[in-house]
Amino acid sequence: MGCMRYMSEAHLRGFERYKYSSIDTSFLSVYVMHPFWNYCVKFVPKWLAPNVLTFVGFLMTVVNFILIAYYDWGFEAANSETGNTVPAWVWTVAAINILIYYNLDGMDGKQARRTGTSGPLGELFDHGLDSYSAALIPIYLFSLFGTHDLPPIRMFFVIWNVFLNFYLTHVEKYNTGVMFLPWGYDFTMWGVSGMLFVATVFGPEMYRFSIYGFTVANMFEFVLIGSGMVSSHPIIARNIYLSYKNKTGKMRPMWEMLRPFFAFVWLFVITVVWSFFSRNDVINKEPRILWILYGTIFSNIACRLIVAQMSDTRCDAFNVLMWPLAATVGVCCFPYYQQVFDTDLTSDIERWILYGLTIFSTLAHWHYGYGVVSEMCDHFHIRCFKVRKSSSQSGSNITQPLLQNNNKIKPLKSH
């Protein structure tokens, strides 16, 4: 990586001390999926690195995004009076790819323990890619509803709800030291895949009906937002509270405990301003690119938080990628643009600014991910996509396959 380094000595020393700790209480995960993954992983050759499974699963979410975007770039395919114009087979492929991603995500940790390669790199690689998938997966479903039933401004809040659910789990671990695996993840993966399969069998038009003005899109928003508020957010708050009460967590001061929210809230505020006050209504003209931009910067914020909580270092309060974003939003939303510059900001110019910023942010995020993984591989003398015969990650703590908690055995997912 030359002179550009993302990991300090404090980060690397923290990773050397790191031990993975998680609790999974989801009955679907514990009693159905884990036994299934334990069976399936036996057929995976031991020479195959677990990070390969992780990366292939992530690529399935990328393939879905590209495939659906090709047929429905502007989320308008469902608006047609003759029915959704996306071919039926696309929904089938997307549903299968989601299940591949979900199951490989569950099997990679088990493969790591089979091959003796469990360590911090695998968990970081897994959760880092999951943060990107969190931005991609909800975008698939927008093509089922179209912009008539789910306008882009409501898509914006759906995506931010997904961001919040993902991020809170890692804020929780940053303060407690334990990954409490959320119930919603397993049900969400099956739910998304099921919705896509239903679109193949019965046609996506079934997602366009309404009863007394209450649409399926409204139900989708209600269930998604309500499930987080009921099954996730209060439980996370309680777990953090108990870690302070029982002195089992990191015991950070109040402002340090809240520090992970600073970058997250800054990003939310900046994106809200652009979405509502763009001079050329960019949210309705280029929603897909806008979601990719927001998702990429969110993923970078989440990855840096994951690095901080795993290495037990202080997390960032502001993300460097938000500087060009804030500057762009300032230009595109400046209320006196025409009076000051004697010409208005045209729609085409704002679009090109959006494209350029998305490309820059994506390349910067990829460079960050590649740099962090490379630096960890160099430090621990391992290779990301290769299993060594006498593999044990030098300096890392190999996790046990099971975690005892509350007199129950909880299988671990990550590696």
Show which residues are catalytic.
127
Q: Which residues of 330-365 are buried (b: 16+ CB within 10 A; e: fewer)?
A: eebbeeeeeeeeeeebeeeebeeebeebbeebbebb
- Is there a contact between 283 and 153 (Cβ–Cβ < 8 Å)? yes
Which among 125, 158, 149 is positioned nearest to 51, based on CA atoms?
125
Instruction: Please provide the distance, in angstroms rounded to a whole number, between the alpha carbons at the two ends of the chain.
Output: 25
Distance of CA 323 to the CA centre of its chain: 22
Torsion angles phi and psi, residue 290, rounded to 5: -60, -40
CA distance 252 to 40: 41
Distance (Å, rounded) from C-alpha 166 to C-alpha 127? Answer: 10
CA 331 to chain centre: 29
Q: DSSP label at 32?
A: I
Torsion from C-alpha of 362, 364, 366, 370, nearest 10 degrees: 180
